[in-house]
Chain A
Amino acid sequence: MKKFESLIAEILEVDSVDLADNLKSFDSWDSLTILSIIALCDESYGVQLTADDIEGSLTVGGLKDLLTVKQP
């Protein structure tokens, strides 16, 4: 899952992310970003998340944990 941080940074349009970063604090945060994350999780990890799942995970680390739990 090391790659996760770099993939998510790319979607959030930043050079790097910290696990403690709040998702909603990014300038690029909108429904399209959420959709891109949904697509990334489905494509790269085989996990289907909803917009609520992602917003509810609050931070980059929270999202990573959610993905780890749900990964088949």
Chain B
Amino acid sequence: MNLHFKDKRISGVLNILPEREIAFKEELENYNFSRAQSMKLKLIMGYEKRRIVDTQTCVSDLCVYGLNYLFDNDLLNRDEIDAMILVTQSPDYFMPPTSHVIHGRLGLKQEMICLDINQGCSGYVVGLNQAFFLLENEAVNKVIVLNADTLSKKVSKHDRNNNPQIGDGASVTLVEKSVKSATIFGKVKVDGSGADVLIIPAGGFKTPSTPETGILKEDTAGNRRSMDHLVMKGDEVFNFVQREVPVMVEELLEFAGLDKSDIDSFIFHQPNKFMLKKLADKMGVTYDKMPNNVVEQFGNSSGVTIPMTIALNYRERLLGGSFTACLTGFGVGLNWASLILTLGPLNFCEIIDYE
């Protein structure tokens, strides 16, 4: 589906890194694989270290910390927030919405829109789209898009498919009306027939967690996980991404009337180095135009990897200037979505540590 938005812009990006850092090498003993095999995995996928939360830290904690940082440093006025969207797959509770928990903890005004969106790896783009929709309304001038996940808590330590890459994190993005901004072009696609490709089978209303769903079982590849853990059909995800994402970006470029060479940076979700390099190869994009350095330092924190990529690679450039970016997310759902927009100049573009 093609979308376009006028007179809107991203005006700030803040990332919040959780407290614990784990090196890949620390966890080799957890896996049913030889050291040599795991080191090859590390090399190809680009695993070094990752950031995760302590057991008691929740999505609301990371988001409240980030928003308070913006308030305290006069980067955001709390009374100006007309809407707050939280994109997460790891809410504090089933009910109430975690956005409301955050709203309450910060004492925000009653006259505003507050909503949760359940979306993962494409969630940052989905959240931005929702912000753009809301900004079409006269009463809405500034929207906060919170994207945060703590899925490390749902990944088995003995699952070499998922554990070495899972990271936690949060981001706060300010989106606002801006009359002089260039048109934003977007594309969104869904394939719910792949809903089981990335899934946490138990713990929801369909299959509540019980002692039985918590029992670790070994799969054919030698990974051990329970029904309460995240499970991914890695080969299907890989094929889906290689098949669908390049096509979507081509279609979006055509819709926007742009050429691949007009895009200064392809800022993509960061599942691992291998997948991003293969995507760049297939799309005919040079590696310097598609950064892939987030997973090796912070892990894969779902949609949050996109604002992380922005702040990690382009901070100086975006505080002073702007460029044309293609933001693309893909994953659980299955859902894949892409935006072409002018990024910057930003009022803030930072990475801070949660304390």
A residues sitting closer than 8 Å to B (CB atoms) are 28, 30-32, 34-36, 38-39, 42-43, 48-51
Contact = CB atoms under 8 A, between A and B. Distances in A.
What band does the interface of chain B fall in when counting residues whose beta carbon is under 8 Å from A?
Answer: 20 to 34
B44 A32 contact: yes
B235 A38 contact: yes
Given A28-B37, A39-B278, A42-B242, A51 B44 contact: no
Given A30-B33, A43-B282, A35 B235 contact: yes
A38 B161 CA distance: 16
Contact of B221 (A28, A31, A36, A48): A31
B243 interface: yes
Contact of B243 (A32, A35, A36, A48): A48
A34 to B, nearest CB: 7
Given A35-B274, A50-B236, 5 more contacts: A32-B45, A36-B44, A39-B238, A42-B242, A48-B243
A39 B234 CA distance: 12
B239 A50 contact: yes
Contacts of B45: 32
Contacts of B235: 34-35, 38, 50-51
Contacts of B161: 31
Interface in B222-248: 222, 234-236, 238-239, 242-243
A38 B41 CA distance: 15
Contacts of A48: 239, 242-243
In the complex, the 9 A-B pairs of residues with the closest C-beta atoms, listed nearest first: A51-B235, A31-B221, A48-B239, A32-B41, A50-B235, A30-B37, A42-B242, A39-B278, A38-B235
B19 interface: no
Nearest to B240: A48
A43 B40 contact: no
A49 B235 CA distance: 8
B281 interface: yes
Nearest to B277: A39
Contacts of B274: 35, 39
Given A39-B278, A43-B281, A43-B282, A30 B239 contact: no
